[in-house]
């Protein structure tokens, strides 16, 4: 089991460029999440997908879009990157948000720099 995988690990973009961060999990989890982590700000939820076929905005969705491609994959797209989107991005998954045991499993992260 690979758990949660993310690609790429590192990326440098110029302002205005677009890119898609990929996330996949092999644990048959229903719920998936995208966070960004900035110094002093902790983990902030960007978007989440409670189950296949659904997506919802989190705390900081502006400038991002997501696609729940299938049960395994949840991608995050930056349409026009801005320096304020320089951050470390984490994808996470859990069996189901409805479960009483709702541990989230995290991927290794993508370090994004926007110049």
Partner 1 sequence: QKEVEQDPGPLSVPEGAIVSLNCTYSNSAFQYFMWYRQYSRKGPELLMYTYSSGNKEDGRFTAQVDKSSKYISLFIRDSQPSDSATYLCAMSSPGGGADGLTFGKGTHLIIQP
Binding site for partner 1 (CB under 8 A): 4, 31, 33, 40-43, 45, 48, 50, 56, 58, 90, 92, 94, 97-98, 100-109, 111
The nearer residue to partner 1, 41 or 82, going by C-beta atoms, is: 41
62 Cβ contact list (under 8 Å, min separation 6): none
Shortest distance (Å) from residue 64 CB to partner 1 = 15
Minimum gap (Å) between residue 51 Cβ and partner 1? 8
CB of 13 to partner 1, least distance (A): 20
Given phi > 0 = left and psi -120 to 50 = alpha, else beta, which region is 50? alpha
- Which residues partner with 5 through β-bridges? 24
**Nearer CB in complex with partner 1: 17/97:** 97
Structure tokens at 16: 């205005």
Per-residue tokens: 46 = 């960007």
């Amino acid at each position: 089991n690979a758990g949660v995988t993310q690609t790429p690990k590192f990326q440098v973009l110029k302002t205005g460029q677009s890119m898609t961060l990929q996330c996949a999990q092999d644990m048959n989890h229903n719920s998936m999440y995208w966070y960004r982590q900035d110094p002093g700000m902790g983990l902030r939820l960007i978007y989440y997908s409670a189950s296949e076929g659904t997506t919802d905005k989190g705390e900081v969705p502006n400038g991002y879009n997501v696609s729940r491609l299938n049960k395994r994959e949840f991608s995050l797209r930056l349409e026009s990157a801005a320096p304020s989107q320089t951050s470390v991005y984490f994808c996470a998954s859990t069996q189901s948000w409805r479960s009483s045991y709702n541990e989230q499993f995290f991927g290794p992260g993508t370090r994004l720099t926007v110049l």
